[in-house]
């Protein structure tokens, strides 16, 4: 069996089982060549047209592994046509993203960016710019999957009450269904967006949802910029209808230098970096090797993407 694998994680894949042909690749053109004749492909990050070209040129492909979680750049219909199984990296970066969300919430409560800017000016402020606490606040998590549950577990230690939104309602009173969260928006100090990056979620949070939020509440988005209506968000921020926003993702990306979001005092922007971790390669390889063992044994794979649902 031939495997096509990225050289970027070669050091983490020393546990590959023997007896298989391995073609290593370092860039897109090398990936196309490596994938030809391969049965298994570890597909690193490329644009959709490039991914389509790789898949179409790999007639013997049976399983594609990607360490990304969002599938909006993947040609899912092509996988279906070719009968190729796609597995993703759901859960690999849930911990780092959850930590980034907690960091942003603390920064918002304490208005920490103002303290950093004061340090840049060598300005000893006469009073703290922020007097907020996380204790006894409430957070609504839109999308209670791996990331949503990871942030909820961490927020519990700060005394934050969390309600998660899932596709199906649960017996757990802290988990509600997709038709229940909008009427409850005024209850929450934090609205955390971790839903799947599927077309149906475009502008899931728009002007009506922002208007319904509690005065002073913050919205935090780590999924895709287009899930929140950015024009409506700017209006709400300018008008002071919400407290602020943490945006690890924007629409478009990179965020243009002339965007007002860079300059609003109640906005924290990070460059789609909430997932970043020195352990990402190691964790990705562990997941791949576990799934490879399952594949060779004919056992069910982990993180199989539902090509119809899009995640």
| Domain residue spans of the chain | 2-92+278-297, 94-269
CATH homologous superfamily of 2-92+278-297: NAD(P)-binding Rossmann-like Domain (3.40.50.720)
pLDDT of residue 197: 95
**Edge-to-edge strands of the sheet including 244-247?**
175-176, 161-165, 138-142, 190-193, 218-221, 244-247, 267-269
The contacts of residue 19 (CB under 8 Å, 6+ apart) are none
pLDDT for 171: 85
Same fold, 2-92+278-297 and 94-269: yes
pLDDT score, position 169: 81
3-class SS of residue 78: helix
pLDDT at 45: 81
In this prediction, the residues of the chain whose per-residue pLDDT falls under 50 are none
Residue 123's pLDDT is what? Answer: 98
- The hierarchical CATH code for the domain 94-269 is 3.40.50.720
Say what the pLDDT of residue 159 is.
Answer: 98
Q: What's the pLDDT at 95? A: 98
Whole-angstrom distance, CA of residue 164 vs CA of residue 307 = 24
pLDDT value, residue 292:
98
| Cα–Cα dist 201/271, whole Å | 21
């Amino acid at each position: 069996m031939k495997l096509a694998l990225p050289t970027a994680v070669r050091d983490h894949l020393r546990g590959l089982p023997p007896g298989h042909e391995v073609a290593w690749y370092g860039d897109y053109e090398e990936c196309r060549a490596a994938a030809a004749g391969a049965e298994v492909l570890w597909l690193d990050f490329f644009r959709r047209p490039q991914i389509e070209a790789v898949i179409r040129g790999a007639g013997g492909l049976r399983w594609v592994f990607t360490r990304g979680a969002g599938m909006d750049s993947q040609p899912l219909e092509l996988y279906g046509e070719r009968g190729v199984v796609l597995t993703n990296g759901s859960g690999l970066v849930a911990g780092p993203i959850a930590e980034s969300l907690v960091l942003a919430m603390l920064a918002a409560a304490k208005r920490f960016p103002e303290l950093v800017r004061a340090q840049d000016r060598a300005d000893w402020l006469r009073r703290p710019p922020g007097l907020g606490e996380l204790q006894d606040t409430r957070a609504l998590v839109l999308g209670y999957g791996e990331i949503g549950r990871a942030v909820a577990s961490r927020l519990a230690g700060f005394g934050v009450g969390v309600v998660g939104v899932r596709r199906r309602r649960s017996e757990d009173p802290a988990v509600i269904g997709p038709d229940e969260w909008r009427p409850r928006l005024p209850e929450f100090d934090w609205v955390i967006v971790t839903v799947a990056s599927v077309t149906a979620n475009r502008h899931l949070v728009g002007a009506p949802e922002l208007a319904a939020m509690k005065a002073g509440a913050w919205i935090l988005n780590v999924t895709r910029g287009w899930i929140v209506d950015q024009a409506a968000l700017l209006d709400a921020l300018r008008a002071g209808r919400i407290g602020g926003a943490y945006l690890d993702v924007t629409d478009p990306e990179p965020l243009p230098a002339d965007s007002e979001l860079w300059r609003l005092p109640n906005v924290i922007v990070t460059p789609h970096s909430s997932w970043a971790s020195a352990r990402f390669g190691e964790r990705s390889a562990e997941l791949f090797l576990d799934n490879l063992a399952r594949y060779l044994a004919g056992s069910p794979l982990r993180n199989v993407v539902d090509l119809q649902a899009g995640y």
